[in-house]
Every structure is written in C-alpha cells, then in structure tokens.
Amino acid sequence: MRVLVSGSHGLVGTALTKSLAAQGHEISRLVRHAPGSESEVEWSPERYSIAISLLEGFDAVVHLAGESIAEGRWDEEKKRRIRESRSKGTKLLSDALANLARPPKTLICASAVGYYGDRGDELLTEESAPGNDFLAQVCIEWEQATSLAAEKGIRVVNTRFGIILSKDGGALAKMLTPFRMGIGGRVGSGKQWMSWIALDDVISGIEYVMANDALRGPVNFVAPNPARNEEFTRTLGKVLSRPTLFPIPEFGVRLAFGEMGDALLLSSQRVEPQQLKAAGFQFQFTELERALRHVLH
C-alpha cells in the first residue's frame, strides 16, 4: 500500500511509519518544509496550502499532526494554536483529498477521548454525547473537519486516543522522573478515571483499522480496562519499585497548570473501546501492570 502520514515524527507517527515500512508499505510524509526527497509532500496549514498534485494515488492517509496540548500553559494564543492546528489542518487535508481524481480509499484522522469532557464514573462509548469544555470543542471541530472527505466517499475513521503509554513521549514519559525519584503520588482525589492504551496496541490498532473496511466514524483507542488515577499511580510505583506517598492536591494542579491541569489531570473519562472489540481487534495489553512493565522494559 501507498500510505501518506502527517505528524510522522511524533510519538505515534514515528512508531507507525517504522512498522508500516517494515511490512513493505510505501510511506510518504506530509512536511512543513521544502521536500528533501520524493517521499515528502509539502503543506502549510497556516497558509492553507498543500501540494495537491502529489496527493494522487495513495491508498490510505493517516493524519496525526497537531499542536501539543501538554506543553506550556493554555493562554489564549496557545488555545488558538491547539484548535487551529487540528481543525484548520484537517479541513485543508480533507478538502484536498476530496478534490483528487484518485482519492485514497481511507482517511484515518486522530482525535482524543477529550471529546467526552469530564464525565465522572459514566461509561462512555463512541455513541456517547460530547462534553462541553475546551478540549471537547476542539475534538468536535477536529472530527467535523473530515466531513468533506467523507462526503466524497472516502472511508473516514476518527481515532479517539486515550492516554498512550510509552517511555518515549506522552503523559507517562512526563511522569517517570518524579516517580523514579520516589516523589510521585495520586493527583487530586485520585478517583478520576484514566483511559489508557499501550503504544503497541495503538499501532496495531491503526493497521487493523486500515485493513478493515467495516470500521468508520469514531473509534475509541483505549484498552478495555481503564484505571482510576490512584490505581494508575500505585501500579506505576510498583513497577518502578518506588513509593507513591506524595499526592498533588487539586489546588496545586490548578496553581501549576491552570486550565490544562483541569483538562488533562483532574478530568475523568471512563471509556470503552466498543467499536474495536466489536470488530474483533485483539488487544495485546489489557491489564495496566503488564502494559507498564512492557513499555518500561
């Protein structure tokens, strides 16, 4: 297959392109600089421009690009970049693909469980209503931006990622230093649900979706067994052989991180991977401790 990937140097993109290439697929990358090889296609969401003639003939497009939500406080400028990098970039790509003579069969576009907002103990599936906070609104616009491609007849899958477990990036990588120092602990009450997934299952899940024509629309990318924050921190301490005796109170989270802390550390999403399970996808890592031991070797 010929596969085009945006965000190819991010956590998921790096692992995905490596896996696809190892299987013999032909990989091209969407890049924001002058192409350095024939396998690169230039685009600029900021200028709403893309080398559309180079998009012809791909079998699948995997769109992972977007401003990091976990770097820096969320001032108005940061929130604008988070929103526009997703909605504007996705609309540009979707619009371009919809106008090709030979459009791809499949567009897989990243999204997130932030779509659901802070929902306490409610069990959430792909059919659940969206939340009403900033991240939920970002995810709604992000997914809606793929509508042009869907209307063209391209099969669109919106992968709603949970917390991706990897030592190389994401939330877990940020947690490792304090936990290895023995100063980790629960966040806030510790009762909030964390819907997680091992990076290996993210990659095999994307490849499964790419090959399975029955899957379309929103698909939750989370393991079947979410954990409360207190369980997650206790298990991480156990895997690292470190105590977890230093909780961070809610006011401390808000003081240190502002709105980002509420959205990423204190909100609760108990998400079920209903679509992946119904399609027969087999998770390699369903239990948190085994997943953590694997990703941390």
In this prediction, residues 192-198 reach a mean pLDDT of: 98
Q: How far apart are CA 28 and CA 26, in angstroms?
A: 7
Query: Which domains are present in the chain?
Result: 2-295 (3.40.50.720)
Full DSSP string of 230-267: HHHHHHHHHHHT------B-HHHHHHHHTHHHIIIII-
Q: How far apart are CA 229 and CA 226, in angstroms?
A: 10
In this prediction, residues 262-270 reach a mean pLDDT of: 94
> What local confidence, expressed as pLDDT, does residue 189 receive?
96
pLDDT at 73 over 90: no
**219, β-bridge pairs:** 159
pLDDT at 71 over 90: no
What is the phi/psi pair of residue 165, to 5°? Answer: -85, 115
In this prediction, residues 80-88 reach a mean pLDDT of: 95
HSE value, Cβ hemisphere, 13 Å, CA-based, for 111: 31
